[in-house]
Amino acid sequence: MGFLEIIAWPFSFVFRFCYWIIPHYAGALLLFALFVKILLLPLGIKQQKNQIKMAKLRPQIFLIEKKYAGRNDQVTLRKKQQEIMDLQTQAGASPWAGCLPLLIQLPVIMGLYELVRNPLTWLCKLSEDAVAAIAGVAGGSVENEIGLIASITANPSAFAHIDGVANAEMPNLMMFGKSLGIDPNITGTGWLVLIPILVFVTSFASMKITRRFMANTQIGQTPDQQTSMKIMDFAMPLLSMYFAFTFSAALGLYWIYQTVLGAIQSVILAYAMPLPKYTDEELKMMQKEMKKNRGAYSDPNRVTCRDDSAPVRSLHYIDEDDDDVPVRQLPPQRKTPNKNVGQAKMKNDTNRKK
């Protein structure tokens, strides 16, 4: 038994219970997805609490980023990063803390997909040899057990001689006249082509909903960071839609259930544990504070001697890059004539003539 099978084994009892309550594969998948979301809810609550801490620190981080704006040398970048890390450590918040629940969920989700895509093994409890024999008769793959169920349902007598098939209750995959065991494609699968499209729509909408409730944590993002987030908003749903076309429709349907329930969970947590919001007065106070800090770390003599086309360097007077900075030579100052010296020189010349 492999790693994914170990994770899928305890959930198989829950999945069979869900199918016993709703004897239809689509309905059982919905009930099972709801159970999984409830089970993983504590991790979502922990992630929301960390986002609240990060949102409270965001104005201070914004000030630090503005203080070091335009200084891209390694010395200054390390100093800026250290200040931000010290601030987060004191507050007990970390950007990586939000990734921990996701890392815990990842193997669980992989195990769940192993369970959902192999109903002959986990729901019908057929052996590996029986599944291999079914695949041989159907001309399919043992990796696509949902598709094999469609073949068994279409011609039960062809598989009756295989051990366990005659007594096994095949799950009902029919939905609106189409089998969920079919891989959706543009032609030949009817309305099932809507499932990958709905995967894209729900994934995109879910990310937008999450962004809306996380808007207060996005203060001070650079244009490059904002562009990257916009690209991800389209790239991830497109990737999900591609996978939905390559797997059976049942997996795509389960993906839709998980995405919709995840968005609902985000909305509920956002209202139950809202992120701090900043008023216009608080933002003005931040701007005043930034103006104070902007002039506190500059050297007027150093700025005036620097070439206007040269990049801004670090806050340190001496670092690794300062030797490479072009320096503009100041024009020589004219000596102001001293009136007293001039008058004394004229008197001496007059005395010599006499």
**210, 229 Cβ separation under 8 angstroms:** no
**124, 171 Cβ separation under 8 angstroms:** yes
pLDDT for residue 349: 57
Kindly report, residue by residue over 138-193, the tens digit of the pLDDT. Answer: 887 888 788 888 788 888 888 888 888 888 888 888 888 888 888 888 877 788 89
Write the single-letter amino acid at 161: H
**185, 245 Cβ separation under 8 angstroms:** yes
Question: End-to-end alpha-carbon separation of the chain, Å?
Answer: 122
Cα-flanking dihedrals φ and ψ of residue 306, to 5°?
-90, 145
Kindly report, residue by residue over 8-20, the tens digit of the pLDDT. Answer: 888 889 999 999 9
Report the percentage of the chain scoring pLDDT > 70: 72
Q: Report how far Cα 276 is from the mean position of its chain's Cα atoms.
A: 21
Question: Mean per-residue pLDDT for 29-39?
Answer: 92
- Full-prediction pTM beyond 0.85? no
**121, 145 Cβ separation under 8 angstroms:** yes
Q: Which helix (H) or strand (E) holds 102?
A: helix 99-116
Of the pLDDT bands very low, low, confident and very high (cuts 50, 70, 90), residue 199 is: very high
